Amino acid sequence: MQVVIGIDSSTQSTKALAVEVGTGAVLGEGRAAHTVSGGGARESDPREWWRALGEAVAATGYAEQAAAVSVGGQQHGLVTLDAAGEPVRPALLWNDVRSAPQAAALVSELGRTTWARRAGSVPGAAFTAAKWAWLREVEPEAAARTAAVRLPHDYLTERLTGAAVTDRGDASGTGWWTPEGYDHRLLQLLGLDAGMLPEVVEPGKAAGYVGAGTALRAGIPVAAGTGDNMAAALGLGLEAGRPVLSLGTSGTVYAVTRGRPADPSGTVCGFADALDGWLPLACTLNCTLAVDRVAALLGRDREAVEPGGTAVVLPYFDGERTPDLPYAAGLMQGLRHDTTPGQLLQAAYDGAAYSLLAALEQVLTAGGERPDGAEELLLIGGGAQGAAWQRTVLRLSGRPVRIPAARELVALGAAAQAAALLTGERADEVARRWNTAAGPLLEPVARDDEALRRLADTLQRSATLFEK
């Protein structure tokens, strides 16, 4: 029996799965928490990720038996290392929106169309390019001390192997990668030297081998790893055109496509997948945690929703990425004397889900796939198990919804990458052989067009309230 370990280094914690290569059976699991700063900043010490990786891997019970390993990590984060390989400062995470002014300046410099054509995406505050621009402007001493720039999964792979490498999927979320490699014109604009960046490893190739003194057996191969959304797509074994809605701290909607996306509106990010395709994606900052916050304010259980009412809630507590409103705050509108707390909570679910579902057709179209309203939607992430979330997505999408039974899809996708090093298969083929997307199917219901109209109207009329 061969065993591999897949790792998911996410915003709040690191998860690790020990998986049997032949069947996909999960043999062991581990988890360790991270510390994330509060307030306007969202930062973490990368050394905490390394500690958490060791603890999570050890907890699987298979650290010594694993034959290969791979790391999936949160996208976009800016890890700055000095000449000795130590962090210059805490990493700026994807949901740190302090870089919104720098993102706007970068877009103004070249224009949306040029950014979309060259980098595949119009950079927002989440993108690594904007965070590097923020660092150079706000903390020039830290930028001057920086000898190497990494993404979160790059940092962990390098700690495992000693090799400065990344993959095309995660690199496509920086704002300076193209299918031909790093874009030197964009790097020049950003004041970033290509020598500070990791090598992009070809899909299916090993990044290196585990060195001595880690939680894993030395000498086993380490796959290139990838970003969390790309790893989840691998974990599901996605084929082109099948849409996914992920409900977590952030919300995402994406699909693997055959065409390279380039959306100048900025709604759709033109990411690469971890293989040879593309992963157009729209992302919101406020999803399950935002709804839970509304439930807490109301003093209700998160499932205690009630139908009806005219209330609209835009739960943009952390600013918002889709729509692009980085200075937004939470908004409640349309309350009446007879509005109930349960209706207000349901409106928060609707507001969190709306932007993702509104972007679904754009995601498919941007990648050259035909948007078919009858195609089933795969619902994943922590929120996918909640009955209120399931009913909300059914009611607002009008699509059949399948809920894969597999859990920890980012770690599972990383495990599929590791297994592919041993079997010679593509990682998505490994996941399909493991049947990871299997799960109950919820039949479609009539779409609630009235709720969608109220949300669209409120968003259009309130956008000026969120300008800085």
Residue 433's CB is within 10 A of a number of other CB atoms, namely 17
Q: Tens digit of pLDDT for each residue in 223-279?
A: 999 999 999 999 999 999 999 999 988 899 999 999 999 999 989 999 999 999 999
% of the chain with per-residue pLDDT over 90:
87
Is the model's pLDDT at 306 over the cut of 70? yes
Burial of 380 (0-12, 13-18, 19+ CB in 10 A): buried
Taking residues 119-144, what's their average pLDDT? 96
pLDDT of residue 371: 78
Q: Tens digit of pLDDT for each residue in 417-430?
A: 999 999 999 999 99
Q: Which amino acid is at 296?
A: A
DSSP 3-state of 454: helix
Catalytic positions are 228
pLDDT of residue 336: 95
DSSP 3-state of 428: helix
Secondary element (H or E) of residue 49: helix 46-59
Tokens of 341: 């707390």
Q: Can you say how many angstroms the Cα of residue 113 is from the centroid of all Cα atoms in its chain? A: 24
Q: Tens digit of pLDDT for each residue in 388-398?
A: 999 999 999 99
Is the model's pLDDT at 110 over the cut of 80? yes
Is the model's pLDDT at 373 over the cut of 70? no
> DSSP secondary-structure letter at 227?
E
Tokens of 236: 């599901």
Instruction: Say which residue the tokens 């490498």 belong to.
Output: 165
| pLDDT tier, 465 (very low <50, low <70, confident <90, very high otherwise) | confident
Residue 52 to residues 55, 58, 102, 130, Cα–Cα distance (Å): 5, 10, 32, 27
pLDDT of residue 249: 84
Instruction: Say which residue the tokens 């700690």 belong to.
Output: 159
Ramachandran quadrant class, 177 (left: phi over 0; alpha: psi -120 to 50; beta: rest): beta
Report the mean per-residue pLDDT for the chain. Answer: 95
What predicted TM-score, i.e. pTM, was given to this entire model?
0.90
pLDDT of residue 95: 87
